[in-house]
Amino acid sequence: MTLPLAGGLPAGVLLLGAAAGASLALTAVLRVLLLRLGSVDYPREDRWHRRVVARPGGPAMYVAWILLLMLLVPREARPRLLAVAGAASAVFALGLVDDLLRLSTLPKLLLLIVAACLPPLLGLRFELFPPALAVPLTIFWVLGITNAFNWLDNIDGLAAGTAAIAGGVLVAQFLLAGDAALAAGAALTAGVALGFLVFNVHPARIFMGDSGSSFLGFLLAVLPVAGSAAAVSNVVTTLIVPVLILSVPIFDTALVTLMRLRGGQPLLQGGTDHPSHRLVALGLSERRAVLNLYGLSALAGGVGLAASRLDPLSGLVLTAVALALFTALGFVLSRVRVSPRGGGGGGVGVVLVQLMHKRRILEMLVDVVLILAAYLGANLLRFEGRLPAPMTAALPFVLPVLVAIKMSVLYLMGLYRGEWRYVGFLDIVGLLRAVTLASLVSVTVLVLTTRLLNISRAALILDWLLTMVFLGGARFSIRLLQEMLAAQRSGGRPVLIFGAGEGGLLLLAEIRNNPAHGIRPVGFLDDDPGKGGTLMRGLPVLGTRRDIPELVRRLQIAEVLIAAPSMDRGDLEAVQAICAEAGVTCRAMHPLLS
């Protein structure tokens, strides 16, 4: 029996569900067999897990994928998928050999390079480009994504869940493009990953191993390449959309690579320095860290799906905004201290140390991208998504002028002397002045040089607005991400902050900025009954001093921190007495100035 792929989304959902069910059943059987055979993964210094877990689970996903391809996918749709399956089988076999024999790094890399050459040999390459460019690009793309998924399998459930999300987005993309065969392949991929995830979510009961992670990564790399042969007419759909859909494994690989080069550590080694590990080091639970990366994957996939349906310029603007978000997250996570491994730096590592310490370079490069995106976005808004030919012809002159002038004005206005981590509203006022002056100078130069021929005046106004929004958003994103992640911390002693005013907010900021304190704020207390039930920086005001005993009992509070500079000695002693009766310690946090 086969599924009618012409059924569109319902057929795709059925195929995904069938693949998930088959993968779930096969994984359950395989796990029992592996435990009986003693095929398990023991804790190691360069691995995150601390328990003995069955491994490898890749064969369950591989068998489910191949079995359902032959049973449920119609015969007329199989030829293209069989080419994908043939190359993926070789990668799976390589991963299984590595799982069983523990290949050393160089032989394994050599075999992966050979496997990455299979898609072009089978006729799968980026069709938009001439063969001289398409073949090398395909090889590096497949090799990079396959290895990225291998690295992404660094914490329970991350690789499997990300593969399920990326596969689901590819299903939607292929269905919108009218490619039912590749939609079936993506549905099978998402389904087998989802079924395996049931046993792989924290605490994992089975690991996929290299046979599983390489198999999933290879499929998710090759399917977009196979889809590039059909109805693809621009580089956005061909390259940028797959990059957005697979942005989390790419981001993981990029951050780990840069940080290891910076520290002079070996690249091709295990380690606990991935973004997921850095989120846990910030105080998030393993589940919460993985869920955040799931959300990021889904968001980027949605942006990629939207970009595939828009004009290429609109897709580029969306991509620039997504790039700024990933850059901000990378900046936040790069500051998290993790346990490094490896020797001292040298060579390219020395160069990267110099570059990465000079964050101003990165800030300026981000601003260049956003200035370009703002002008293009302004014109797309003005002309309802499609730039007229005369406006397009003017871009080679207008864009360099805008970048050169605006960046010069922003620099002279002192915009690159501040710390994005501590940006406040006064900084935004300064940004508004700098952006306004930069726009006025830019417009003046354009008037004198072109008389605004083929340049929309309305777009220039929108450009000023979007430049302000993009640059301001980039600066606030660092602080926003820091506060969002700090608010999700699950570790530390639960405490109440007495004083829902400026003192309490300053104390909350100090606690959130320094996870080393080992404190987790649960809520505020304040004797002003009007503040009851309100939220202060995401934390609720839970009551007054009279509620301390009940809150201590119900929330298992370890300590009450008093941050109310205006409180007199009598009230302070009264609160301390209530805390003593409730059996909880109480400390008065003195203000910086008194």
**Which pair of tokens denotes residue 34?**
């592996």
The residue-averaged pLDDT of 169-175 equals 91
Please report the DSSP string for 325-379 in residue order: HHHHHHHHHHTS-----S----THHHHHHHHHH-HHHHHHHHHHHHHHHHHHHHH
* 307 pLDDT above the threshold of 70: yes
**Which pair of tokens denotes residue 554?**
């119900």
Cα 518–Cα 510–Cα 516 angle in degrees, nearest 5:
25
Residue 96's pLDDT is 93
pLDDT digits (tens, 9 = 90+) for 15-33: 999 999 999 999 999 999 9
Query: What is the chain's length?
Result: 594
548 within 8 A of 529, measured Cβ to Cβ: no
pLDDT band for position 226 (50/70/90)? confident
Q: What phi, psi does 228 have (nearest 5°)?
A: -70, -10
What domains lie within the chain, and their CATH numbers?
A: 5-357 (no CATH), 367-481 (no CATH), 491-588 (3.40.50.720)
pLDDT band for position 45 (50/70/90)? low
Give the strands of the sheet with 559-562, arranged side by side: 535-536, 539-543, 519-525, 493-498, 559-562, 585-588
422 within 8 A of 483, measured Cβ to Cβ: no
Report the C-alpha gap between 550 and 563 in whole angstroms.
Answer: 20
Closest CA to 470 of 333, 378, 393, 566: 378
Residue 44's pLDDT is 60
Q: Identify each DSSP E strand in 446-590 by its residue range.
A: 493-498, 519-525, 535-536, 539-543, 559-562, 585-588
**Which pair of tokens denotes residue 478?**
């660092």
Name residue 498's beta-bridge partners. Answer: 525, 562
* 313 pLDDT above the threshold of 90: no
Q: For residues 509, 514, 518 and 520, what is the CA-based torsion angle, rounded to 10 degrees?
A: 30
Report the C-alpha gap between 258 and 531 in whole angstroms.
Answer: 46
Of 222 and 309, which is predicted with more confidence?
Answer: 222
Residue 381's pLDDT is 92
68 within 8 A of 189, measured Cβ to Cβ: no
Report the C-alpha gap between 183 and 226 in whole angstroms.
Answer: 11
The residue-averaged pLDDT of 291-317 equals 89
In SS3 terms, 83-133 reads as HHHHHHHHHHHHHHHHHHHCCCHHHHHHHHHHHHCHHHHCCCCCCCCCHHH
Q: Which of 40-54, 60-74, 409-423 has the lowest mean pLDDT?
A: 40-54
Q: Which residues does 249 contact at the CB level (< 8 Å), separation at least 6?
A: 145, 148, 149, 151, 152, 159, 162, 217
Report the C-alpha gap between 238 and 125 in whole angstroms.
Answer: 11
Q: For the chain, report the end-to-end CA distance as a whole number of angstroms.
A: 80
Q: What phi, psi does 500 have (nearest 5°)?
A: -95, 50
Residue 229's pLDDT is 56
The residue-averaged pLDDT of 153-178 equals 92
pLDDT band for position 548 (50/70/90)? very high
Residue 312's pLDDT is 80
* 146 pLDDT above the threshold of 70: yes
Percent of all residues in the chain with a pLDDT value above 90, rounded to a whole number: 48
Name residue 275's beta-bridge partners. Answer: none
Report the C-alpha gap between 332 and 35 in whole angstroms.
Answer: 40
pLDDT digits (tens, 9 = 90+) for 179-209: 888 999 999 999 999 999 999 998 899 999 9
Of 524 and 7, which is predicted with more confidence?
Answer: 524
Closest CA to 377 of 399, 397, 401, 409: 399
* 371 pLDDT above the threshold of 90: yes
pLDDT digits (tens, 9 = 90+) for 472-508: 998 888 888 887 887 787 778 899 999 998 889 888 8
Name residue 273's beta-bridge partners. Answer: none
Cα 297–Cα 300–Cα 304 angle in degrees, nearest 5:
130
Report the C-alpha gap between 204 and 199 in whole angstroms.
Answer: 6
Q: Which of 84-88, 332-336, 543-547 has the lowest mean pLDDT?
A: 332-336
pLDDT digits (tens, 9 = 90+) for 514-525: 777 788 899 999
* 77 pLDDT above the threshold of 60: yes
pLDDT digits (tens, 9 = 90+) for 553-592: 999 999 999 988 778 888 888 999 999 999 999 988 865 4
Residue 339's pLDDT is 60
Residue 237's pLDDT is 66
Residue 350's pLDDT is 41
User: Pairing relation of β-strands 40-41 and 53-54?
Assistant: antiparallel
**Which pair of tokens denotes residue 43?**
């804790």
pLDDT digits (tens, 9 = 90+) for 89-112: 999 999 999 888 888 777 888 888
